[in-house]
A and B are shown apart, each in its own frame.
Chain A
């Protein structure tokens, strides 16, 4: 047997073996969907679409922690709208602010930065992308949340909502700020790649027509890169909605839906997105009711990130039309 392995392989055998290894990834993905769906089935079957309803989700989770082997119908009940809403709010806000930030930063890197500054910024962006999320969370909770809690939340603001929720600094504001910093490097990487891939003839042509450098960049290059910008936003949102650790440290850990009717105070209210909820209930996964709820959350996240990944791939297709490498 060993001799058969040691003799030179034929291409046919090599192709088979390598193909099998490559297909392992597909097998794992199918297993992932299967396992998560199976574990989520009790909760999904019981709740159906009601899981999107509004309700006291924290209480529901705490009762589920204590369920026995055969959970009753009442115990399986789950209305997770506050968590879903929290995920949507943090992802959308971080995505929007991050897009603006990344767009201007990318234009700066490609067009306006002096060469020495450009050589400094490129490794800096890579560094920001590499910092572990737990460190972002640590700085977020020990520095930013403390600052917001001590200085930005006034007495009367805290009192205005104290019958519903405590304001202590961990809030939408800190969560969105840190999340923006986390997802911006991804967008900058994709957008700068796309801007560099724009054919030089277009830039020269627009400058030769007498437009200034900013307008040449904005009206021609950025316009040509719109598909890549869309793909960048989608990929960044994928990262944002999956972020569990940093958000569980920084966003307040309350299954509470921040109320836009509160105005600015909404920014200071705590919340807890889906991924963070999973992270916080990891110890109690032995309780069957809780287990199926948590796996249901994971299924929702899995489904959303699938959709977004495919969306990003499709968004990049128009770039081929111009012959640009996306």
Chain B
């Protein structure tokens, strides 16, 4: 190893300059480790590199196929049912469906999740109830989305919820509409918004609350004026995570959104009729156009999947962006932060 001319440091108490130190490389000499240790090290590297390789392959392959099949036409025309799917229109309706569902879902989830997080962190009495609610949220987070979807169907087919969806002539409530699907999507997104909001609230130091109480403000006023604004970043992160989860979910869609390719509004109130009606989303569109569904148009499936992946990556990128901006104020809200 060639020795560079060492830099000179001036002694700070005037004892004269010192011989500068050399930069060292870390000589761990792995070749003298035991064989099992070397194999283990190789496995670690292999695992790490495989992760990168798998992610790269997925993204690049979807990019390749997507660019191959996506046209502006597809993004802006309505899908038409037909025997030969490759000739029949694009997927504008599914895109609208995805957007609509995401908005409904997150709009329902955020107030409930934030209120729950605030109650748990700031009040939390009686303790058994707080712990039960926390366990409840963990249980919801762990429940498979297909089960939540099935529950939604059973729930919204009750006559109580008839205004939310189409009612057939025989009196049976259809139970499938944007509203019902959106409600269940909200349930799915609650744990994400709850988790990040709770972390954010717990990270606010006690002296901030004490300062506000010392000025004579009630707890609820403190929450509204001081705490919630300071966890805005956490709430946004949770919302972005939740939106990503909603946009990528297929199970709830195929159970609860009806199986119409286009948006089929129901009823006569403008605006509300779309919500009450059925439709499709990008996820169900991909599912139905793949060999597992009915239509057999892999090109359309790839195109729609590519658009879906872009949306999800964009939402994830937003999470990173918010987290990075938030970390200036010291709010660390995502896992895997080193």
Which residues from chain A sit less than 8 Å from chain B, CB to CB?
Answer: 8-11, 14-15, 17-19, 21-26, 28-29, 31-32, 35-36, 38-39, 101, 104-105, 107-109, 111-113, 117-118, 120-128, 130-135, 137-139, 141-143, 181, 184, 188-189, 192-193, 196, 212-215, 218, 235, 238-239, 241-245, 248-249, 253, 275, 278-279, 282-283, 285, 294-295, 298, 301-302, 305-306, 308-310, 312-313
Contact = CB atoms under 8 A, between A and B. Distances in A.
Nearest to A113: B48
Given A141-B291, A188-B51, 12 more contacts: A10-B218, A14-B218, A18-B119, A21-B116, A21-B119, A25-B116, A35-B151, A133-B250, A141-B290, A214-B40, A249-B287, A285-B153
Contacts of B132: 26
Given A15-B119, A21-B112, A138 B302 contact: yes
B61 to A, nearest CB: 7
Contact of B139 (A29, A123, A193): A29
Given A112-B45, A121-B52, A309-B142, A131 B220 contact: no
Interface residues of B, number: 90
Contact of B244 (A125, A130, A218, A301): A130
Contact of B286 (A138, A196, A306): A138
Interface string B105-131: 000000110011011100101000100
Contact of A278 (B146, B190, B315, B337): B146
B204 interface: no
B28 A213 contact: yes
B33 A214 contact: yes
A108 B315 CA distance: 27
B305 to A, nearest CB: 5
Most buried by B among A14, A127, A133, A213: A14
A238 B221 CA distance: 40
B267 interface: no
A122 B133 contact: no
Nearest to A103: B47
Interface of B: 28, 30, 33, 37, 40-41, 43-48, 50-52, 54-55, 58-59, 61-62, 111-112, 115-116, 118-120, 123, 125, 129, 132-133, 135-148, 150-151, 153-155, 187, 190, 218-221, 223, 244, 247-251, 254-255, 259, 283, 286-287, 290-292, 298, 301-302, 305, 308-309, 312-313, 315-316, 320, 334-338
B139 A309 contact: yes
25 contacts: A8-B220, A11-B218, A14-B219, A22-B116, A25-B136, A26-B133, A26-B136, A32-B143, A36-B154, A101-B47, A108-B47, A112-B48, A123-B320, A126-B334, A131-B248, A135-B286, A141-B292, A189-B336, A212-B30, A213-B28, A214-B37, A214-B40, A242-B146, A275-B147, A306-B139
For A22, A131, A253, which residue has the most chain B Cβ atoms within 10 angstroms? A22
